Amino acid sequence: MTFRALSRALSHLYREREGARFFSERAMKAALLEKAGLSADTLLLRAEEEVDNGIAARLLSDAALLLKGEPLQYYLGTEFFHGREYLVRPEVLIPRADTEVLVELVLEKAPRGALVLDLCCGSGIVGLETVLCREDLRAVGVDLSDAALSLSRDNAEKHGATRISFEKGDVLSPAFLARARALSPVLLAANPPYLTKAEMAVLEDNVRREPPLALDGGEDGLVFYRALLDLSCALSVPLAAEIGWKQREKVGRLVAERGGKAVFYRDTSGRDRAFYYLPKTP
């Protein structure tokens, strides 16, 4: 089999398995080649060359796996976020460009020399970008998942980030308030689970591969926002948080119930994606 024939076989498999539901054909082929240690232009520049039978079989087998819904990021073990490459693992939510809005908000709002408490930290990307982009800031990442904390620490080591630490904590537990108060943060940041029960029931196969713990926001998708806003009020500390693009009105009602002020921010598609909350002064 030549590389040209292999490329055609991959294209046929992509169409047959309706791969467009998950990713572009070009992205799939690029990931397969990268994983195999081949250059991105191999299928084009070496079109008439014969492919090693073992490599061809592996690429076709891996393609079949991806087309069942295996995310490309888990397959490759990395993802780029905010201009940096981060490690990803199947036990932890995949970083998404949407969250860059939250990172920019934190970088804009954090006072000089502040400690940022990154709640529901996942792979650690928000806290890590905070300290990597601003040398005056420190951060503590908190997550309930041991797998997330392990990955966060590995990402910190990968990028040589020393002004950040990670610890286990449940932001939904009333007991967490005491720990948060002891850390004395100046700003809370969070990208919490925010999908509703109805949304969880109709996820695409590739998103189903991600951990439910990092996606499920309860019946109405607002469980974590209630806890985060209450924590912000209890500490008298501002909160910057990501939201689902349909949640502005619902989150706005939660803010109104507690007093204070919230400003919403949009992503590059013009969708509401984050908010900055200033709690009511006691």
C-beta neighbour count of 267 within 10 angstroms: 17
Residue 18 Rama label (left phi>0; alpha psi -120 to 50; beta): left
What is the C-alpha separation between 118 and 127, in angstroms, rounded?
6
Looking at this protein, which amino acid is placed at residue 91?
A: E
Architecture of domain 88-278: 3-Layer(aba) Sandwich (3.40)
Q: Are 131 and 155 in contact (CB under 8 A)?
A: no
What is the C-alpha separation between 266 and 245, in angstroms, rounded?
9
Tell me the β-bridge partners of 166. 141
What is the C-alpha separation between 271 and 256, in angstroms, rounded?
21
Would you give per-residue pLDDT tens digits along the chain (282 residues)? Answer: 999 999 999 999 999 999 999 999 999 999 999 999 999 999 999 999 999 999 999 999 999 999 999 999 999 999 999 999 999 999 999 999 999 999 999 999 999 999 999 999 999 999 999 999 999 999 999 999 999 999 999 999 999 999 999 999 999 999 999 999 999 999 999 999 999 999 999 999 999 999 999 999 999 999 999 999 999 999 999 999 999 999 999 999 999 999 999 999 999 999 999 999 999 987
Spacing of C-alpha 247 from chain mean position? 18
pTM: 0.94
